[in-house]
Amino acid sequence: MNYSYIIIDDDQESVLKTRAMADSFSELAFIASANNYEEGLNLILEHTPQLIFLEIDPSNKKSNLSLMLINELHRYLKVIPKIIVTTSKKDLAYEAIQYEVSNYILKPLARIDFIKAVLKLKKSEGENVATLTNPHVLEERPAVMVQHLASAIEEPLILCIKSYGDHRYIDARDICYLQADNNSTDIHLNGGEMITAFKTLKHFEGVLLYPFVRIHNSYIVNSRYISRIHTGNAVCYIKNTTSKIPFSKSYKVNIDLIISEISNGNYLEI
């Protein structure tokens, strides 16, 4: 799922930094930014974004930016956008929690914090869909909605690789990793087969969500197929194969994310 977002911050340099960080995630779509309370409120009511990055301790007090903006939104909106506070003040975190913000990211912004925030949003959406498909909830929902939601959950992502009239269908769950080859991409499947798609690796980075993670300029890996990560040698091992995929320092934060996600599951460290 994609999330449209607005940035509300009185510091224009901070706005640019937040946008630069957010725009590196294909799931986040920028709408606009505001530098004060009134402009921010008007933007939210006009565009109804799904996500707001909000500074609550402005350097310019005349901007009136604070958590009170959230209270004002309740006067006009039935559904309040997800709020991610971005500020340098640690001591405002507890107060922000009382306003039920989605996340609290300290400045200077770090990419790993954005990764965690995006994953948390996805997890929240997944839980909402699960709630909607709960039989006790569905009693009051139209049958068409029930069918649509159940279908969305059950059906896997199918990639169609087209070439000169040939339509090749791939279940995304069968992809181990993708490797760049100039302006094309080699897709390696769990059965050992390799299929070439005439799209760049950057294209696939934009359309494939987690568990697909970019770990190198030349590689995107399906983290479900990682059996071993050797941080000293900077390589990942792929399950049931002899393949070793390198990762680069510039994507080390994504490797940390994979390690963190694996350890958050049914996990025992020996």
Q: Please, what is the average pLDDT of the chain?
A: 85
Q: What is the pLDDT of residue 172?
A: 92
The pLDDT tens digits of the residues spanning 82-141 come to 999 999 988 888 888 888 899 999 998 888 888 888 888 877 766 554 444 455 444 444
The pLDDT tens digits of the residues spanning 194-206 come to 999 999 998 898 7
Q: Are 28 and 51 in contact (CB under 8 A)?
A: yes
Q: What is the pLDDT of residue 134?
A: 52
What residue spans in the chain does CATH classification 3.40.50.2300 cover? 3-126
Single-letter code of the amino acid located at 8: I
- Over residues 254-264, mean pLDDT: 83
What residue spans in the chain does CATH classification 2.40.50.1020 cover? 158-263
CATH of domain 3-126: 3.40.50.2300
Q: Are 16 and 48 in contact (CB under 8 A)?
A: no
CATH of domain 158-263: 2.40.50.1020
Q: Are 157 and 169 in contact (CB under 8 A)?
A: no
- Over residues 170-188, mean pLDDT: 95
The pLDDT tens digits of the residues spanning 36-60 come to 999 999 999 999 999 999 999 999 9
Q: What is the pLDDT of residue 120?
A: 82
Q: Are 172 and 220 in contact (CB under 8 A)?
A: no
